[in-house]
A and B are shown apart, each in its own frame.
Chain A
Amino acid sequence: MAGMDDDADPSTTARDGLPVHLREVGPEDGPLLEDLFRSLSPQSIYNRFLAPVRELDGTRVHALTHMDPCVEFAVAACREIDGRERMLGVGRCHRVGAQEAELAIVVGDPWQRLGIGSLLLRRIVHRARELDIRWFLSTVDPNNLPLLRFSEAVGFRGDLRYHSGLLWMRTDVQALFPPEADWQDRTPRA
């Protein structure tokens, strides 16, 4: 397992052997984010937004790229493809309590199963620990079995409950990525 220093390294490699650059999402990332949205299958969109969103309207793009640094941060996994930067996936963490933050990760369909989700989650976990975030909260479609398997593989420990057809997960940040976990072989979809 890589150490914390590795987690902070912005340049890393995906399972396809090609480089991935991890960086913070900023206000200028609207076009890249819209590009990423267009790479998502309807199922991936549903898993991310819990709605069959057809387009990212301006309001939503603004909300996803203009973070309030006091309460939220977002990490993008990027790669240069055909001479221009592409966003392969993005992870987002928004503080909702003293030690709690809502978490969401999405990876474009062409780049799923390459370990991109794991890279994003590792980076988010690293930042969250620095910010004294103890719990990740996420709302998940119970049919999103790949995500549930991934959660188990990266060491999910916490609370699960069903409400209104959704799974509400509260994950202990400290428990994620235990040394023995075979997490590198799994990729989340949301």
Chain B
Amino acid sequence: MDTRPWHRFYTEGIPLEVSQDVDPLPVLLDRTATRWPDRTATVFEGGRMSYRELREAADRFAAALVSLGVRPGDRVALQLPNLPQMVVAYYGVLKAGAVAVMTNPLYVAREIEHQFNDSGARVVLTLDAYWVKTIREIRHRLPTVEHIVLTRLADGLPFPKNLLFPLVGKKTGLVVTVDPQDPVLWFQDLLRRSPASPPRIDWNADMLANLQYTGGTTGLSKGAMLTHRNLAINVRQVQAWFPGFQEGAEIVVSMLPFFHSFGLTVCMNLAVASAATQVLVPNPRDIPKLVRTIGKYRPTFLPAVPATFNAINHFPGIEGINLSSIKACISGSAPLPLEVMERFEQLTGGKITEGFGLSETSPVTHANPIHGVRKPGSIGIPVPSTDAKILDLEEGKREMAVGEDGELVIQGPQVMQGYWNNPSETEGMLRNGWLHTGDIARMDEDGFFYIVGRKKDMIIAGGYNIYPREIDEILYEHPKVLEAAAVGVPDPRRGETVKAFVVLKPGETATAEEIIDYCRSRLAAYKVPRMVEFRTELPKSTVGKVLRRVLQEEEQARSRAG
């Protein structure tokens, strides 16, 4: 059997392999800043930062971290939306030789506490609003964190928006007052007082760059260890996939969150490595503003999730807006419906390629060729220097024939080193040099892969992986709940959404809102059940094991019945 049948579908200009000789990520920024010092690196609300300014600010933040005691290998948590400060801070952390712990701003106290403590973060950079609303109350439960550094959203805005933001930004909930006595440092102060001289690091591309936290089947998220090599090579693999991508000429809309590996690589790191301009969009759900941004800045590259492409397609008056600057898009996190792809391509003249990846693979492993054969419903073919195959589901040892279902396993230079402080999870995922994805897939005779199911008990809602067990754990903590089970139910907008089945303790009463509110205070918004159904008992096997499958099947039948 041809082990890499997909190679014949690589279109002109796409190499079969990419060079494994890569520089650490900060070197990519330095190189771009040297070649393209005046090119705009980021645009945010009309304010621009050049690559010269970005490098200087990152150098200052690196020096500041060193002055705070950060040493190579230490963890620094970054919990910010897509703001200019995030780009500066990420490269600053790496320039200090430290490891960035990318943290979802939507996380609630319980999730933040786990992530900061599990990673052993010594420094945390976050928004002042997150400090006031969440982190301050759990500060005493973060023993490894020595310094909290705050930035205001307004710090990333140009004059005079930065001065006006406290007045006009009240409805965003991001205008807060930090008590002057709070034990925090300020990002802007650190940049002002630190020299633009990062420490001299004995660089090695195999140094750890990121802990990329991803949901865990046990209910606790775990940190995928990604090295500079993993991330830099994945950027190179994505660059190779778009041979028309020109250094110093592209404009990228960075709406995918940087704390997620998709946004990290395909927006931020790809842009920096390619001297592209990033138009930062912290809230891609504001479709009117997103459309205005596209019309104003004329981007050439638009990485997004299917829901965003669909929303743009249906934006009133979209036909009258000139979207012709868009050359290429990459869609991930959920299947891209064919009609969404065709409509968007018709509107823009650009091409969308559907890709696939995991946090554990930096993340891109597969994509459909942008100008060649694209197969609807397929996640595409492995990107250069990447191998993939389908193994039997039971033991994961026997390679399946073309067209047969099995577990998708992946090998390549973008595959993580393991999970941080979690050898048992690592052992389950990395076996004999292959990453076992937990996705059930098949490969056709051309080497195109199709995801057909999941080995893991997982819900994918709005592009986020959600493990039902994590929700179950919260539901069982509710004082009125005897039993509960969360399941994924079909949702036209989010792909799936979370529904909770709840059995109350004898004599207790509760409303769905009460259960949802309880979850909302303990789970990031995307994990919170949208629906609650009360039952007198949950389906169980004869020996008392809870059968979530039965609930799922009931929901699927209900969905089919309309």
Q: Which residues of B contact A53 (CB under 8 A)?
A: 476, 483
Which single residue of chain A is at the shortest CB-CB distance from B505?
A57
Q: How far is the CA of A164 from the CA of B477 in the complex (A)?
A: 24
- A138-159 vs B: 1/0 string, CB under 8 Å? 0101110100000000000000
Q: Is the CB of B548 within 8 A of A50?
A: yes
- B457 pairs with A164, CB closer than 8 A: yes
**A190: nearest residue on chain B (CB-CB)?**
B545
Chain B CB within 8 A of A98 CB: no
CB pair B544–A60 under 8 Å, yes or no, is yes
Taking CB atoms, residues of chain A closer than 8 Å to B541 are 102, 139
Q: In the assembly, what is the distance between CA of A164 and CA of B217, in Å?
A: 13
- Known A43-B218, A92-B543, A139-B541; contact A52-B473, beta-carbon cutoff 8 A: yes
With known contacts A143-B217, A143-B218, A51–B457 Cβ distance under 8 A: no
A163 at the B interface (CB under 8 A)? yes
**Chain B contacts for A72, CB-based, 8 A:** 542
A164 touches B544 (CB 8 A): no
Interface 1/0 per residue, A46-85 and B, CB below 8 Å: 1011111110010010011000000010000000000000
Whole-angstrom CA separation of A143 from B53 in the bound complex = 48
Residue B514 is within 8 A (CB to CB) of chain A in the complex? no
Give the complex CA separation of A161 and B395 in angstroms: 10
Choose from A52, A94, A103, A145 the contact partner of B424 (Cβ within 8 Å).
A145
* Contact partner, A51, options B424, B455, B485, B549, Cβ 8 Å: B485
Inter-chain CA distance A74–B219, complex, in Å, is 30
**Interchain CA distance A161-B453 in the complex, whole Å:** 13
CA distance A98 to B544 in the complex (A): 20
Q: How many residues of A contact B (CB 8 A)?
A: 32
In the complex, whether A88 has a CB less than 8 A from a CB of chain B is: no
Q: With an 8 A cutoff between CB atoms, is B440 at the interface?
A: yes
CB distance from A96 to the nearest CB of B (A): 6
Residues on the A chain within 8 Å of B425, using CB: 143
B328 to chain A, nearest CB (A): 35
Q: Which residues of B contact A145 (CB under 8 A)?
A: 424, 427-428
Asked whether B548 lies within 8 Å of A52 as measured between CB atoms, the reply is: no
Are B544 and A49 within 8 A (Cβ)?
yes
- B482 adjacent to chain A (CB < 8 Å): yes
Which of A43, A103, A166 is within 8 Å of B457, CB to CB? A166
Q: Which residues on the B side are within 8 Å of A94 (C-beta)?
A: 542-543
Contacts of A103 on B, CB cut-off 8 Å? 543
Contact of A96 among B469, B476, B542 (CB under 8 A): B542
Specify which of B472, B542, B545 is in contact with A52 (CB 8 Å cutoff).
Answer: B472
Taking the complex as formed, is B4 at the interface, i.e. its CB lies under 8 A from any CB of chain A? Answer: no
CA distance A24 to B408 in the complex (A): 44
Among A51, A64, A141, A163, contact of B483 (Cβ-Cβ < 8 Å):
A51
A102 contacts B542, C-beta separation under 8 Å: yes
The answer to whether B371 has its CB under 8 Å from any CB of chain A is no
Most chain B CB within a 10 A radius of its CB, from A52, A53, A139, A142: A52
Please provide the chain A residues from 4 to 56 with a CB less than 8 Å away from any CB of chain B in the complex: 43, 46, 48-54
The docked-state distance in angstroms from the alpha carbon of A52 to that of B476 is: 7
The verdict on B456 contacting chain A, using a C-beta distance below 8 Å, is yes
> B393 interface residue, CB < 8 Å from A?
yes
> What residue in chain A is nearest B546 (Cβ atoms)?
A51
Query: What sequence of 0s and 1s flags, for each residue 400-426 of chain B, a beta carbon within 8 Å of any chain A beta carbon?
Result: 000000000000000000000000110
A165 touches B457 (CB 8 A): yes
Bound complex: CA A52 to CA B457 (Å): 15
User: Does the CB pair A165–B482 fall under 8 Å?
Assistant: no
Q: Do A161 and B548 touch (CB < 8 A)?
A: no
Tell me, rounded to whole Å, the shortest Cβ–Cβ distance linking A109 to chain B. Answer: 16
Query: Known contacts being A162-B440, A165-B456, A165-B457, is A139 close to B483, with CB within 8 Å?
Result: no
Name A159's closest neighbour in chain B (CB-CB). Answer: B394
Bound-state Cα–Cα, A48 to B482, Å: 17
| A104 is an interface residue with CB less than 8 A from chain B | yes
**Closest Cβ neighbor of B393 among chain A residues:** A162
Chain A CB within 10 Å — which of B425, B468, B483, B544 has the most? B544
B549 touches A164 (CB 8 A): yes
A54-B457 in contact (CB<8A): no
For the complex, is B552 an interface residue (Cβ under 8 Å from A)? yes
One digit per residue, 1 when the CB lies within 8 angstroms of any chain A CB and 0 when it does not, for chain B 473-488 equals 1001100001111000
User: Are B393 and A104 in touch, CB under 8 angstroms?
Assistant: no
A160 CB–B CB distance under 8 Å:
yes
Q: How far is the CA of A49 from the CA of B545 in the complex (A)?
A: 4
Of residues 460 to 477 in B, which have CB atoms within 8 Å of A's CB atoms?
468-469, 472-473, 476-477
Contact sample, A vs B, 9 pairs, CB 8 Å cutoff: A46-B218, A49-B545, A50-B548, A51-B538, A54-B477, A92-B543, A160-B393, A162-B455, A164-B457
Interface residues of A (CB under 8 A from B): 43, 46, 48-54, 57, 60, 63-64, 72, 92, 94, 96, 102-104, 139, 141-143, 145, 160-166
Smallest CB-CB A-B distances: 4 pairs: A165-B457, A94-B542, A160-B394, A104-B543
Known: A51-B538, A165-B454. 12 other contacts (CB 8 A): A49-B546, A50-B545, A51-B476, A51-B483, A51-B484, A52-B472, A53-B476, A103-B543, A139-B545, A160-B393, A165-B217, A165-B457
